[in-house]
Structure 1
Amino acid sequence: MATNTEKQSKPVVYIVDDDDGMRRALSTLLTTIGHTTVTYASPAEFLSKYDPGRPSCLVLDVRMPEMSGLEVQQQLNRTGSILPVILITGHGDIPMAVQAMKDGAFDFLQKPFRDEELLDRIRRALQRDVENRESIQRHADLRQRASSLTPREREVMAMVVDGRANKVIAIDLGLSERTVEIHRANVMEKMGASSAAHLVKMHLLLEAEA
């Protein structure tokens, strides 16, 4: 029997569509090949119950009476969501789907579509979710490492990534060259950097987030 942790770690495909028949058909298709699905008849219900901590993607009808797929995407954006959204559109809804993609949606499918098309989009959306989560974790780890640096080590790191030699850093900071070497070694160890080039890449990532 699967534990609660295993259930939470298994990706889920959310399906939001006000058409009962479409919801059931999509859920049946996906569960038949092993996907876990959770269905909602309204965007409001989905938004109130969505768990951003669980690996997932969303299959979303564009045109619904309460809230459009575009509005759902915009609401997700306001919460900082990384959830990959696959929009299902009728022919007249394509401009709305295109706008939603500009706002960050993953992809869209025009009705009628083949099952294989939907399954391929879902496979790629779930892979994108994995990549997004790994990237966020890497950045979180990087910020944690940077927070362990002392103020002096941060100064030394900034000068190292600027390409300055130890001797120059020593003069600029009024330190001995040996002291700079110790600070530099501490920076490399705490940041987990394998080279100056690696440290530069880390520094650029941190600056991009600042």
Structure 2
Amino acid sequence: MTAQLTGAIHIIDSDPAVRAGLARSLAAFGIACRLHATGDDALRALGPATVCIVAEAELPDMDAVELIAEAALRGCTAPVLVVTAEGDVEAAVRAMKAGAADCVAKPLPAATLAERVRGCLAAETPEAQRRQRARDADRRLALLSRREAEVLRLIVEGKQSKTIAWELGISIKTIEVHRARIMEKTGCGSIVALGRLWEAAACLRERSAQPVRRPVPAEDLCLAVS
């Protein structure tokens, strides 16, 4: 681990001596750290510059499982390294099931901590990959105009161009123009790919104030091609 790492690692521990010790251990490897006594304090500080979270398994206001869930809801994809009490296998198992990238037990040498952080930074968890795909899909869908988004919603519901044209009160030719622009803006080469893009962004759309109807599976969208 070198000083080339950009961003900060957030260390969350109720014991100030432990926080300081972990920070010193990582600072020796050129890693910038931000220290927090509670999960809530850390959650308020998380942002794009967060590259890793090192959290005590049991915090004063929440446990590591709750921390991981809340960080995910706030869009933080940084890997979480959970530090448990020595011999607390149950806490480690719960954390790993909740999506922690790794778990270590106190006490641990500085070199071991740095190596485990290195491993967290190198490994992308399935959950992090899913959230990244969701954000990418949402970004691509945001390029659509309001009308194009409306047409896309009807396409992924499995409706043919003539049905969409009738519902929106416009010509089939106009629908085809919208369809072509949707493909171009999203970079999708097929209706099936559009459906998968829509599905990938579903978790973000569900948090929106506007309710959406669940689209048909992507594999069935080929039936919507007129």
Letter of the aligned partner of 1:56 in structure 2? V
What is the TM-score when the length of structure 2 is the normalising length?
0.63
1:68-83 map, 5 Å: 71-75=63-67, 77-78=69-70, 80-81=73-74, 82=76, 83=78
Q: What is the CA RMSD across the aligned residues, in angstroms?
A: 3.7
Residue 26 of structure 2 is matched in structure 1 by: 30
Match of 2:88 in 1: 93
Q: Report the AA paired with residue 38 of structure 2.
A: P
Unpaired segments ≥5 residues, structure 2: 207-226
Q: Secondary structure at the match of 1:91?
A: coil
Q: Distance in 1 between matches of 2:64 and 2:105?
A: 18
2-structure distance, mates of 1:46, 1:169: 51
CA distance in 2, matches of 1:11, 1:145: 29
**Equivalence for 2:35:** 39
Letter aligned with residue 144 of structure 1: A
Cα distance, 1:12 vs structure 2:
0.8
CA distance in 2, matches of 1:35, 1:133: 25
Cα distance, 1:141–1:87 mapped onto 2, change above 3 Å: same
**1:108 offset after TM fit, Å?**
0.7
Structure 1: unaligned runs, 5 residues or longer: 1-8
Mean alpha-carbon deviation: is it higher for 120-129 or for 12-21? Answer: 120-129
CA displacement, residues 63-111 of structure 1 (integer Å, 9 cap, x when unaligned): 56x34xx625415524624343211122342212322333333321123
Distance (Å, rounded) in 2 between the aligned partners of 1:203 and 1:63: 37
- Match for residue 156 of structure 2 among 139, 155, 158: 158
Letter in 2 for 1:50: A
Q: Which has the larger radius of gyration?
A: 1
Equivalent in 176, 182, 187 of residue 187 of structure 1: 182
SS of match in other structure, 1:86: strand
Aligned to 2:11: 15
Indicate if the aligned counterparts of 1:62 and 1:88 stay in contact, CA closer than 8 A.
yes
Q: How many residues align?
A: 192
- 1: CA distance between counterparts of 2:116 and 2:34? 17
Name 1:3's counterpart in structure 2. Answer: none
Q: Is this contact kept in 2: 1:86–1:107, CA < 8 A?
A: yes
Change (3 A) 1:52 1:136: farther
| Cα distance in 2 between the residues matched to 1:48 and 1:204 | 28
Distance 1:158 1:133 in 2: 21
1:169 equivalenced with 2:161 (yes/no): yes
| Post-superposition offset of 1:23 | 2.8
Change in CA separation of 1:172 and 1:89 when aligned onto 2, cut-off 3 Å = closer
Residues 84 and 126, structure 1, Cα contact 8 Å, conserved in 2: yes
Matched AA of 2:121: L
Alpha-carbon distance, 1:140 to partner: 3.0
Distance 1:150 1:25 in 2: 54
Given that 1:10 and 1:55 are in contact with CA atoms closer than 8 Å, whether structure 2 keeps it comes out as no
Matches within 5 A, 1:120-139: 120-127=115-122, 128=124, 134-135=132-133, 137-139=135-137
What's the offset of the Cα at 1:185? 1.4
CA spacing shift, 1:147–1:123, aligned 2, 3 Å: farther
* Letter in structure 1 aligned against 2:136: R
Say if 2:133 and 2:201, in contact at 8 Å, map to a contact too: no
Q: 3-state DSSP class of the match of 1:154?
A: helix
